[in-house]
């Protein structure tokens, strides 16, 4: 079976792609050496010698506008097909490609090893969308919705959320969206050094709530291969966004992305509670001070009483310092839950926040970056497949 279909007039790229597949991927490649693209899925599948492939590669030397048009049509009519575009990774083109439903953008000069990695990622995404259930039917696969919460402000919640999204973006490029639901004073835009054209206000409009393609057009692309949906520019706009609209928004995004990371406002406002009910995982963030710890305990107690705590729970101790007078054991006994990740206080984190560049993109050897990577691993595809979301190992400050 030819799992991969390539359309390109470039025979050299065809050769490298075939080397990539032969070097460790199952299945074969069917190539159309042409620069003429099919009008739609019917014309495409009529030319194939098999059933629907897993990955369609729109190779180099194709008309870009025509390639994006075909990708858009396939995204609507054959959403399970993974479409890759081969072109120089210009930021404007990447944005257009993501909006058209393209899974990834490959460099025309990529070597077989690089191509193999990208093809394998696409195959994994295809498999996750088509994993059969016990009855042998295809399940309606939805992405994980990961909410980052804290009853108290000033604990570095947005820093955790932005780094988590960037880290997951490395594992699942173009399959992660970060949503800023601190609707009055959200800092995701500054944390990622973005100047968004559209915000949550646009994303909950009637047109976007009824058409996912319209919704995706309101997302902002970040160079780390993730999407961002930033908070409204004016705090006044927050008054016109309802919990019902937020529930619908997260539901739509979970149908389109492997991960939806949600940064929330401090406390437990109505919008936050609506988001929590949509979450598959909760990341609780606390600083290493008594007000933060007590606030976290109170918040968790309230949500237990309301019975809306998601099964996936991850407690992050941020800005941890062994000289502050509290120990991890003190915090665990107070909140009645184990601390899963301890992020030490770090100058690199403060610098990265001021620069609008998450520390996971820059200071890989910093102790705080290593701890943030542990959080990413807890929520990454490998951990979820092994059902390790509730595993716990005592952390050390």
Whether 165 maps to a domain, the answer reads yes
> How far apart are alpha carbons 344 and 366 in whole angstroms?
10
- Asked if 169 and 219 sit in the same domain, the reply is yes
Whether 137 maps to a domain, the answer reads no
Percent of the chain whose predicted confidence (pLDDT) is above 90:
38
Whether 395 maps to a domain, the answer reads no
Going residue by residue through the chain, which has 397 residues, state the pLDDT in tens, using 9 for 90 and above: 468 999 999 999 999 999 999 887 888 899 999 999 988 888 888 877 656 788 999 989 999 999 999 998 888 788 788 899 999 877 778 878 878 888 888 889 989 888 888 888 788 777 766 554 444 343 446 889 999 999 888 899 999 999 999 999 988 888 899 999 999 999 999 999 999 989 999 999 998 888 887 888 888 888 888 899 999 989 899 999 999 999 999 999 998 899 999 999 998 889 999 999 999 999 999 988 899 899 988 888 888 888 777 778 899 998 888 778 788 888 888 888 888 999 998 888 888 888 888 989 876 688 899 999 999 998 887 766 555 444 455 555 5
C-beta of residue 210 within 8 angstroms of C-beta of residue 249 = no
Whether 397 maps to a domain, the answer reads no
- Asked if 65 and 150 sit in the same domain, the reply is no
pLDDT (tens digit per residue) in 146-194: 999 998 888 999 999 999 999 999 888 888 999 999 999 999 999 999 9
Helix (H, G, I), strand (E, B) or coil at 312: strand
- Asked if 39 and 152 sit in the same domain, the reply is no
Whether 254 maps to a domain, the answer reads yes
- Asked if 85 and 22 sit in the same domain, the reply is yes
Whether 28 maps to a domain, the answer reads yes
- Asked if 191 and 301 sit in the same domain, the reply is yes
C-beta of residue 162 within 8 angstroms of C-beta of residue 358 = yes
Helix (H, G, I), strand (E, B) or coil at 296: helix
- Asked if 110 and 199 sit in the same domain, the reply is no
Whether 362 maps to a domain, the answer reads yes
351 phi/psi in degrees, rounded to 5: -65, -45
Sign (positive/negative) of CA torsion 237, 238, 243, 246?
Answer: positive
- Asked if 63 and 165 sit in the same domain, the reply is no
Which one of 129, 154, 179 terminates a domain?
129
- Asked if 88 and 149 sit in the same domain, the reply is no
Query: Which structural domain range is residue 118 located in?
Result: 4-129
> How far apart are alpha carbons 42 and 337 in whole angstroms?
54
| Token pair of 156 as six digits | 């570095």
Which one of 94, 129, 164 terminates a domain?
129
- Asked if 149 and 192 sit in the same domain, the reply is yes
> How far apart are alpha carbons 182 and 134 in whole angstroms?
40
Whether 267 maps to a domain, the answer reads yes
The CATH number for 322's domain is 3.40.50.300
- Asked if 197 and 265 sit in the same domain, the reply is yes
Pairing of strands 226-229, 259-264: unpaired
Which one of 129, 161, 193 terminates a domain?
129
- Asked if 60 and 162 sit in the same domain, the reply is no
Total count of domains within the chain: 2
Residue 139 is predicted with a pLDDT of 43
The CATH number for 108's domain is 3.40.50.2300
- Asked if 114 and 201 sit in the same domain, the reply is no
């Amino acid at each position: 079976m030819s799992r991969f279909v390539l359309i390109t007039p470039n025979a050299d790229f065809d050769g490298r792609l075939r080397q990539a597949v032969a070097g460790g991927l199952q299945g074969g490649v069917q190539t159309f050496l042409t620069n003429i693209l099919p009008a739609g899925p019917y014309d495409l599948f009529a030319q194939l010698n098999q059933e629907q492939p897993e990955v369609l590669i729109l190779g180099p030397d194709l008309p870009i506008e025509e390639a994006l048009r075909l990708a858009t049509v396939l995204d609507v009519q054959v959403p399970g097909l993974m479409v890759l575009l081969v072109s120089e990774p210009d930021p404007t083109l990447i944005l257009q490609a993501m909006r058209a439903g393209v899974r990834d953008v490959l460099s025309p000069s990529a070597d077989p090893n690089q191509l193999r990695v990208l093809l394998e990622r696409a195959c994994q995404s295809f498999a996750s969308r088509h994993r059969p259930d016990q009855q042998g039917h295809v399940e309606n696969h939805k992405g994980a919705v990961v909410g980052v919460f804290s009853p108290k402000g000033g604990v570095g919640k947005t820093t955790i959320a932005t780094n988590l999204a960037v880290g997951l973006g490395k594992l699942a490029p173009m399959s992660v969206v970060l949503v800023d639901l601190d609707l009055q004073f959200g800092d995701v835009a500054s944390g990622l050094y973005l100047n968004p054209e559209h915000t949550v206000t646009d994303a909950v409009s009637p047109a976007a709530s009824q058409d996912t393609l319209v919704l995706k057009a309101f997302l902002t692309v970040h160079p780390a291969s993730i999407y961002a949906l930033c908070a409204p520019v004016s705090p006044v706009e927050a008054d016109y966004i309802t919990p019902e609209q937020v529930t619908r928004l997260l539901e739509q995004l979970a149908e389109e992305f492997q991960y939806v990371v949600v940064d929330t406002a401090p406390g437990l406002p109505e919008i936050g509670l609506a988001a929590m009910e949509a979450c598959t995982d909760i990341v609780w963030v606390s600083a290493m001070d008594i007000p933060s710890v007590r606030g976290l305990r109170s918040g968790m107690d309230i949500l237990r009483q309301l019975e809306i705590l998601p099964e996936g729970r991850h407690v992050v101790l941020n800005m941890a310092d062994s000289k502050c007078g509290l120990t991890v054991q003190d915090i665990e006994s107070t909140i009645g839950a184990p601390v899963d990740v301890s992020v030490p206080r770090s100058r690199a984190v403060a610098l990265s926040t001021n620069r609008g560049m998450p520390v996971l993109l820059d200071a890989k050897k910093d102790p705080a970056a290593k701890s943030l990577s542990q959080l990413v691993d807890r929520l990454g595809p490998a951990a979820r497949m092994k059902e390790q979301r509730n595993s716990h190992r005592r952390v050390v400050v």
